Amino acid sequence: MNAFLPSLISCTLLACANAAPPAPPSPETLARQQADEEADREIIRQYSADQGRWLALQTDRDQPEKFRKAVLEWIDRNAAASFLDPEIIKKSFLAHADKIYTDDEIARLEAICHEFDELYEEVCAKKQAEQDARYIRQCSAEKGMTILPNGIMYKATVSKEGENRPVFAARIAEGATTSGFVMETLYGDPAARLSQSIREILPHLPPALEWRIVVPVDLLDKATVAHIPKRVSVVVYTLKINGATPNDHLERNRQTPTAPQP
């Protein structure tokens, strides 16, 4: 796929980046929006509690303490994988982890855990679209950010001490959603393993210490897309010469406490 061929999602994101700020909403519209947001938050709270209960039902009764520790660590480690509330998941999990259930009770509770599946997916789709659009707007306003015709954006972090290197000297690349959920981390010679649409722009990037590349999902290779949540429309790749990849630019974009969906 040619990196400079525009696509539907790319053009939509580019339009979002260039769009003028919307007019302030009327009091009636604002009240309706606030009511909708509270309804969405309630769905997230309920679904978070359900997922904590679901995790408790999977408890290894032979090694309950080990299982409990592993689950709590897993929740923290994957906190950016969805829009759920990790603290509610933990509280619900701990409240049910020590209980012994019959097979009938387990079947009934597992059914309850999936009661909000469809509603939660609708909320996630809306929040993901808002989150990606917000990140695109933030990026387009950043000093030093370059926006290509196909919707790809990039920014190079240049050292004033003259330690800058070509992007092909990068030794780590991290791909993440705009919420900071890391999908893949590449070491060694990461540039050669990125999607073709990204590789095609690399020769045009200036020497630096770090490069951030924002890419519409529909410009990525199929193998890469397979590891990306379906709701996501844009991903962020950060390439560095040395060290771990920071996610400060992603952390600022996160507004809703997030946690994984089991």
Ordered by start, the domain boundaries in the chain are 27-121, 141-251
| 227-252 average pLDDT score | 74
Tell me the pLDDT band of 195, cut-offs 50, 70 and 90: very high
What are the residues facing 187 on neighbouring strands? 172
Highest mean pLDDT among 10-14, 57-61, 62-66: 62-66
Burial class, 252, CB count within 10 angstroms (exposed 0-12 / middle 13-18 / buried 19+): exposed
Q: Cα separation of 109 and 128, whole Å?
A: 28
Query: pTM higher than 0.75 for the full model?
Result: no
Tell me the pLDDT band of 116, cut-offs 50, 70 and 90: confident
Q: Within 10 Å of residue 116's Cβ, how many Cβ atoms? A: 19
Q: Which residue has tokens 């012994």?
A: 100
Integer angstrom CA distances of residue 125 from 3, 46, 118, 163, 224: 26, 17, 11, 42, 20
212, pLDDT greater than 50: yes
Reading the block at residue 240, the tokens are 């560095």
CATH topology of domain 141-251: Chitinase A; domain 3 (3.10.50)
| 120-129 average pLDDT score | 89
Predicted pLDDT at 55 = 87
| 87-101 average pLDDT score | 88
256, pLDDT greater than 70: no
What are the residues facing 238 on neighbouring strands? 174, 212
CA-closest candidate to residue 91, choices 50, 135, 149 = 50
Q: Are 20 and 61 in contact (CB under 8 A)?
A: no
Predicted pLDDT at 51 = 87
Predicted pLDDT at 13 = 53
